[in-house]
Structures are given as C-alpha cells and as structure tokens.
Amino acid sequence: MVNPDPTTAVTVIKLSGKALAAEQQLDKLFATLRGKNCLIVHGGGVEADDLLKRLGFTPKRLNGLRITSKEELPYIAGAFGTCGRSLQARAQKAGLKALALACSDYEFLKVSRLAPEYGEVGTCKPHSCRGIYDLFAHGFTPLLCSLGISADGSLLNINADDVAAAAAAALDAKLIFLSDVPGVLDAAGQLIPSLNTQSATALIKSGVINAGMAVKVKQALGFSRHSHRPIVIASIFDEKLTSCLNDTAAFGTAIEA
C-alpha cells in the first residue's frame, strides 16, 4: 500500500512496555510530534506480566511471542487497554489530538489467527489506510493497541512489533522502535550502529541477538526488504531522539536489508 500523498511524511513509532513508563521522555516525544503525521503503536507487556503474576498465572512465550490462553486474554486486554488510555491522556495533555484504537479499527489492519500452540494470538497485514489518513487530515494522532479482531469476531493478542511493521507498510512510513535499550547490542553489550541481513542473521544464529530482540530484528529486516527503508531500534532515553524525528541525526541501530 502506498501513501496517497507522497509529499506528506508519515512516521510509525512503536513504544515498548518499558518506554510507556518513561513519563518525562514521553512528554518530550509528544511535544516533538505536534503538527506531524505520526501513528504510535503500543502493547503493555510489562503491565500484563505483572497483572498475570499477581493473579497466579505464569507468563509463557514461544519463539519470542507471548502465548495467550483464553483465561488470560481478558486480563491482557485490560492491561493493554489501560496502557492505551493512559498514553492517550498523556498525549492529550501534551497538546496532541490522540485517539486510542485497536489495530483492526477502521479496517486498517486485517487480523488472522496464528498456529494453535500460541493460543489466542494473531498476526496482521495491511488492509485499508483510508480511515487513518482521514484521522491525519483532521489532526489526530492514532494510538494503536496490539489487540485486534479477526474476520470471525475473535479478539486476539498480537505482537506489537508485528502491528508496527504492518502499520508502517500500510502507510509507507518511517518505522522507529523505542524501548529502554539504546539499540541492538553486541556480545560485549556495546551498541551496533547498523545491521544488514548478513550480519543480523549471523548474530541471531550465534545467540547474541535472541528472544524478543530477535523477533524485532527479523521483523525490521522483513519490513526493510519490502519498503527499501532502514528501520531504527533505539531508546526513548536517547538525547538524539527529537532531532532524529526531524531527520537531523542518527541514533540507535539502523537495520536495512
């Protein structure tokens, strides 16, 4: 899907659960986004894990993705929804016309179920960006939660990185992943400024890049392969963040297939 107005730049920012707790940094980010077409994607993994543990559940993952049982889904949805509304309140306080949405709202992304071993978990792909562009035209900043509804009416938990990549593909947008780590780190814990398919594959195979970061890097490579754009993985605490959003500085790890 291609941006119908190539003169209008769009940025998709994915916020990790830990980035959602960085209140001062979020305020700076939102101030920078005023007047820009930006879509923000969030999950709420930190909050969901905390709630599930307090309720006696043991969070489980498979290949870096959260396994979601039918019993856990209402609590995960509640945690993600609370994160979305809290984020909306903070964004509105900063002057943005923020609107909290599920990723399937406005038929933006089409949601389908993953393999049964993941439980109530789905994936998504671009479907129709008309509604999101209408929101941009009216000055709104969409906040997409990583929950969606499939064609058969099932509510599904979706990996937020998957949602961000699909959203960026739909909008032909620049894609930035923000968490509390400076980017992809090498075996010595040092930042890797850039990765391509060959170097990333080698680091994943050796185990240096693993678990959730491996999922994120693979997703970034896939997006870069189709969009011909680099994807940035960086920290919300990076002092270069606001200048990077204005295309005046590089930060984090740039991944390009």
- CB burial string 138-153: b at 16+ within 10 A, e below: eebbbbbbbbbebeee
Res 5: pLDDT: 54
Average pLDDT over residues 210-229: 85
27 given a catalytic annotation: no
Catalytic residue (choose from 44, 110, 183, 216): 216
Q: Among residues 17, 43, 122, 148, which one is catalytic?
A: 17
Question: Is 45 in the active site?
Answer: yes
Q: Could you tell me if 217 and 162 are in contact, meaning their C-beta atoms sit under 8 angstroms apart?
A: no
Query: What pLDDT does residue 2 have?
Result: 47
Amino acid making up residue 57: F
216: annotated active-site residue: yes
* pLDDT value for 127: 96
Mean pLDDT of all residues in 17-36? 91
In the chain, how long is the greatest CA-to-CA distance?
51
Do 47 and 17 form a contact (C-beta atoms < 8 A)?
A: yes
Average pLDDT over residues 217-246: 84
Token digits for 158? 């979706």
Strands 174-179 and 194-195: unpaired
| Per-residue pLDDT, 6 | 47
Residue 32: is its pLDDT beyond 50?
yes
The residue from 45, 119, 148, 183 that is catalytic is: 45
Is 95 one of the annotated active-site residues of the chain? no
- Domains of the chain by range and CATH? 10-255 (3.40.1160.10)
Higher local confidence (pLDDT), 247 or 19: 19
Residue 168's SS3 state is helix
- Give burial (CB, 10 Å; 0-12/13-18/19+) of 26: buried
| pLDDT at residue number 8 | 67
Please give the C-alpha separations between residue 117 and each of 63, 69, 80, 112, in angstroms, as whole numbers: 11, 10, 22, 14
Task: Identify the pLDDT of residue 254.
Answer: 92
pLDDT tens sequence across 147-177: 999 999 999 999 998 899 899 999 999 899 9
Task: Count the Cβ atoms, other than its own, within 10 Å of residue 19.
Answer: 22
- Per the model's pLDDT, the better-predicted residue between 156 and 211 turns out to be 156
- The residues, any chain, with a CB within 8 Å of residue 230's CB and separated by 6 or more, are 194, 224, 254, 255, 256
Mean pLDDT, residues 183-189 taken together: 94
Given this model, what pLDDT does residue 191 score?
94
Average pLDDT score over residue span 32-51: 93
What is the C-alpha separation between 45 and 212, in angstroms, rounded?
Answer: 11
Residue 7 has pLDDT above 80, yes or no: no
